[in-house]
Amino acid sequence: MKLIFFVLFLFTLPVLAQDSIVFGVHSNTAPLEWRNNGVDQGFNVELMDRIGQLTNTRIIVRRKSFQQLLTDVHNPNSDIDVIAVVSPVNMDRKLAQSDPIYATHAKAYTLQDEALINNWADLVGKRVAIKKGAFVDVFISDKLQKFERVDVDLYETGFQLLIKNQVDVVIAESFVARRLMPMYPSVRSSSDALIYGAFNFVANGSKSELMYQINEALRQLKLSGEYDQLVNKWFGTGREKVDLTFTEKRLFALAIVVAIISAAGLIYTGFISASLRRHAKALDAELIQRKLIEAEISELSQQFQSVLDGIPNGVTIVNQALQHLWSNDNNIYLLDSDEFYYIDNDAFVLKTAVMDVLLNQKSLIADMRYQQQFWQLQIHPIAQDQVVMLLEESTEQHRLRQANEESSRLASLGELSAGIAHEINNPTGLIVHAVSLFSAAMKDLAPAAIHYQKQNPFWLIAGLPPNNAIEELQYSCNSIEEGAKRISRIVNDLKRYAMPYIADEYTQVCLNDVVQVALRLTANQTKFYQVITQLTEQRPCINGDAQQLQQVLINLIQNACNACPEQQGIIEIETRIQNTTAILSICDNGCGMDSATLKRITEPFFTTRRHEGGSGLGLSVCSKIIKEHQGEMQILSSVGNGTRIHLTFALAKE
């Protein structure tokens, strides 16, 4: 006997060691939960039992009233851990909440002779029964109520008040209403769905870890198919299971009625059998005809759906609450992304755009940007509370348009450069040569001027003493020479901008080496700023021309220095490898640029530093060099927040 008790004790140890979840239930009707012969059954109970098995947790079912369960689940010290309630779609309760379990809805119910309820406006001034704490109550709690609300503890109480004319309308959840309507034949469904909801497991906010485990188990059941089997078992194919308790009470009376009807039917069948045979052939012919028509309709529907799915544009229909009514677009997630913004860098908010279109009843057509892609978004109103959104990628068209504009500028600039290069370089060369001669002559004439001044102390050159005049002449020569050289540099930049590139001469260049050379050449300019470099240990090698890439980075460093305050400016330079691309980034904490400047920043001759001697060709030449290297330049900047520039190139193949 002791041995038997010991074996039993060993078998019960794992059960005792298990954690437990107290699952509170309240319904006494199928299919969600009810008690039959003292055993708790139903969809929610069996689903929670399977979750307990997956989480190695013992499930304890505890039955209480609905109101008591609502009170307990808000109390962290309650003996109830989890309950199953309905929550409105897109509206979470202030509790730890699971993924949706099963969809449902609520609508209005009135007496047979009362008018239909088409929308919420039809409830104005009426007495409306609302179940306290139910998902209908949660949905309307923060909305303006223009009807007289009558709180009830159960939907059945609301139906009883409706029969007694103490309320005009009951807004009830569909599962419960379908069970109650056979018992209240004078009540009818008077509206389409007013609120969409879903069953969820909820728990106190302090039990978020428990809800995480329940969610993981619930998702595992959905992926394995067990969840679908439970739905089919308890709900059938889209209909509510009958109320087993109600059926058991009336089963005997129904059997008697069926027997009487069956006897009468046998007698009546003898009289109508002949008529049925006469109509059988006609019905068969009609059935064949209907099947042919149904096949044609089905084929037409499939063709129509294929046409919609084959439209190159992504088409989505949404309502005012941003619910997706229909869509053939796999890219609809872009509309909710923080990286999806207008092409001028303004933030895009889907809710604001839809409300503006509905309010003004005017279409919105905008060019958008997502990472390195360009999109065209169209939003058109099709009803008072619905819009159709068309989303089409326009990256290729945008790049072709840019290339066309760039080609036009290059063509015009090429013609201009060819004409002015000869006209400017020749006189500029003469100026530089003459100035060199003047500088050499000043040095030779200085002793003669000193000697002549000794003989004639009052001798002046251009109204100045000889020493001062010679210094001014020397300074003027230097200024003329510097100006002539600057003219020559601008002409060379023009020629470089319009010059075709030769990709065959490219060699492998490491971006780390480009950064180091550029920093050495700009050391005199960057000494007043804090320069931070983060160079990847891998060698980010690309095919290109080292001197041209150094010219690009030197220009970007100089621009960063011009944008930052001395002693407080921070310039960060980074290289990294991402998949098959090499990325060179330069970031500063300078003054930044507005959207208007960003649009024109790479245009030839456009500059914000014209008064400081800027020619407006630096970033234009940089942009051309980057394109010659099959790279991309992305500029992110806003006023007061500095500028970040990313240069992206394809990695060289080993």
Residues 587, 563: contact at Cβ < 8 Å?
no
- Cα–Cα distance for residue pair 129/151, rounded to 1 Å: 6
Higher pLDDT, 349 or 1: 349
Q: Does the structure show a pLDDT above 60 at 10? A: no
Residues 107, 192: contact at Cβ < 8 Å?
yes
Instruction: Give the mean model confidence (pLDDT) for residues 443-459.
Output: 75
Q: Can you give the pLDDT at residue 110?
A: 94
Q: Can you give the pLDDT at residue 1?
A: 46
Q: Does the structure show a pLDDT above 80 at 65? A: yes
Place 569 in a pLDDT band, splitting at 50, 70 and 90.
confident
Place 355 in a pLDDT band, splitting at 50, 70 and 90.
confident
Give pLDDT tens digits for 156-184.
899 999 999 999 999 998 888 888 888 89
**Residue 456: CB partners within 8 Å, gap ≥ 6?**
none
Q: Does the structure show a pLDDT above 90 at 561? A: no
Tokens found for residue 563 = 């944008």
- Cα–Cα distance for residue pair 84/201, rounded to 1 Å: 4
- Give percent above pLDDT 70 in the chain: 84
- Distances in whole angstroms, Cα of residue 467 to Cα of each of 288, 447, 449, 460: 119, 10, 8, 10
